[in-house]
Amino acid sequence: MPTEVILPRVDMDMTEGMIAAWHVHEGDTVRAGTVIFEIETSKATMEVDAPASGVIRHISGVIGESMPVGTPVAWIYTDGEAVADLAGVGALRATPAARRLARERGMRLRDLTGSGPHGRIGASDVLRESASAAPHTTPDARGSTEPDRASRPRVTRSSAAPLHRVWLREGTTGPLVLLHGFAAELNSWRPFCHALNRIAPPTLGVLALDLPAHGKSSAQHAGTLDEIVAAVDETLAAEGATHGHLVGHSFGGAIALALATASAGPLAQTRVASLTLIAPAGLGPDSNAAFLRGITQASRRASLAAWLKELFADPAQLDDGFITTAGQQLADAGVRARLAALADTFFPDGAQSLDLRGALAALRIPVRVVWGLQDRILPARHADGLPGRVAVHRFAQVGHLPQVEARDDVAAIVAQNIASANAAGKAHEGPL
């Protein structure tokens, strides 16, 4: 049964939008989570991911033509599924909220009966059924409920893992794994990935994850550092990305550092070849408590924008698209509450509960630390006194987001670190 692709609501006030560009053509094979088109609203242009894996058919969304939210723009058929006339398709119709809830609960939408127009499944249908229905399969975090990845014998999976993840770039080497910061989500890496594409080897795969309690990932396994690291490790194992390179920003930097340390142990499935930390948590005693409190309490666009300016050395770099994307992540009061609890665990009263300097000193892989000298969230002085073999890059007139404010330079640093690790690996393979 094919899956319906609709024009989604990407803004709280959005009632209609238009397709700005298609990234796929009729008959293309896509993976769940792959960007398939861009939509343009009065506030921003945003990318839309495929809700399922399969073959794109019946593309009907016309570029530049305004249409209501929820309008079907294409269909995705499973591989080998017969393509019927559109009028005769018994298609799976479900709202984005219903798809998200079903994915989080391990439910198959095909087993549900929709109460909406033309049998469309809504969030209420999923919630009603979930009270009595047990999960049928462990869902792939990019939207698929196919059992192939879930059945890998060396991966133990729970209802909350793997985390939501998206391949931002397909490749045969690497991969490079990107871990976002506190209150962010994986799509924040897309502009950086575009910069990296210009200089990285064309075979390098790039995988981005939503950390627990962020983006489309469940809030489970967000209680302790060990739980988060285990969830990331499990996600990478499920994706076959167990040998590669890590980049982590802010809170994600602490997770990346902890995972790199754990990768040397017998229980971890991930083996890290290189590590790039961008303004990482875990290397100093303090943090900006006012920012963390403000970002998790902001319920209006104006108040959110005021706190987001703290991320930049130059507040003029904060644009409407950035605010809109952050607003989508933080619009729900429940999300803000979960993030506030996370902040209270790892950044209590403006302090940092994590001290990972010893872990960093113990690493024997290429490590680079990047920091903006105007960082008002985690001060750049936290990079002082690191081991001499750790390369530290400090950028003037850059705040807490070097991957945004110094995007090309940071992309080059990451590419150089990967090259160093690859060269070291080849040297170890040679004669002694």
pLDDT above 90: percentage of residues in the chain: 49
The burial of 304, by beta-carbon neighbours within 10 Å (0-12 exposed, 13-18 middle, 19 or more buried), is given as: buried
The pLDDT value recorded for residue 369 is 99
Question: Tens digits of per-residue pLDDT, 203-213?
Answer: 999 999 999 99
Q: Is residue 149 pLDDT above 60, yes or no?
A: no
pLDDT number for residue 398: 98
Q: Architecture of domain 165-429 in CATH?
A: 3-Layer(aba) Sandwich (3.40)
- Its sign, for the CA torsion 182, 339, 161, 362, is positive
Rounded to the nearest 5°, which phi and psi values hold at 277? -110, 125
* Residue 288 scores a pLDDT above 80: yes
Give residue 165's identity as a one-letter amino acid code: R
CA distances from 54 to 96, 102, 109, 146, 288 (A): 18, 19, 16, 11, 45
What is the average pLDDT value for the chain, to the nearest integer?
83
The residue whose two tokens read 């005693």 is 285
Backbone angles phi, psi at 80, to 5 degrees: 85, -5
Over range 335-339, report the average pLDDT.
93
Evaluate the CA torsion angle 209, 210, 215, 217 in order and state its sign. Answer: positive
CATH 3.40.50.1820 maps onto the chain at 165-429
**Confidence (pLDDT) at 159:** 41
Residues 343-398: tens digit of each pLDDT: 999 999 999 999 999 999 999 999 999 999 999 999 999 999 999 999 999 999 99
Burial of 300 (0-12, 13-18, 19+ CB in 10 A): exposed
Report d(CA 410, CA 192) in Å as an integer.
9
| Cβ–Cβ < 8 Å for 340, 296 | yes
pTM above 0.75, yes or no: no
Spell out a b/e string for 362-381, using b for 16 or more CB atoms within 10 Å of the CB, else e: ebebbbbbbbbebbbbbbbe
**Residue 296: pLDDT over 80:** yes
What is the reported pLDDT for 85? Answer: 57
**DSSP-derived secondary structure for 306-351:** HHHGGG-SSGGG--HHHHHHHHHHH-SHHHHHHHHHHHHHHSGGGB
> By the 8 A CB rule, do 401 and 312 touch?
yes
| Higher per-residue pLDDT: 94 or 74 | 74
- Confidence (pLDDT) at 63: 80
Per mean pLDDT, which range of 190-199, 280-289, 409-418, 421-430 is the poorest? 421-430
DSSP state at residue 186: G
- pLDDT greater at residue 139 or residue 50: 50
65 pLDDT above the threshold of 80 = no
Domain with CATH 2.40.50.100 in the chain: 3-130
Q: What is the mean pLDDT of residues 175-180?
A: 97
Distances (CA, A) of 35 to 25, 168, 344: 12, 8, 34
Query: What pLDDT, on a 0 to 100 scale, did the predictor assign at position 393?
Result: 98
What is the rounded distance in angstroms from the CA atom of residue 417 to the CA atom of residue 337?
A: 37
| Beta pairing partners, 367 | 275
pLDDT tens digits for range 8-64: 877 666 777 888 889 999 899 999 888 999 887 655 668 899 998 999 998 888 887
Please report the pLDDT score of residue 2 as a whole number: 84
Most confident of the following: 42-46, 144-148, 171-175, 232-236: 232-236
Class in CATH terms, 3-130: mainly beta
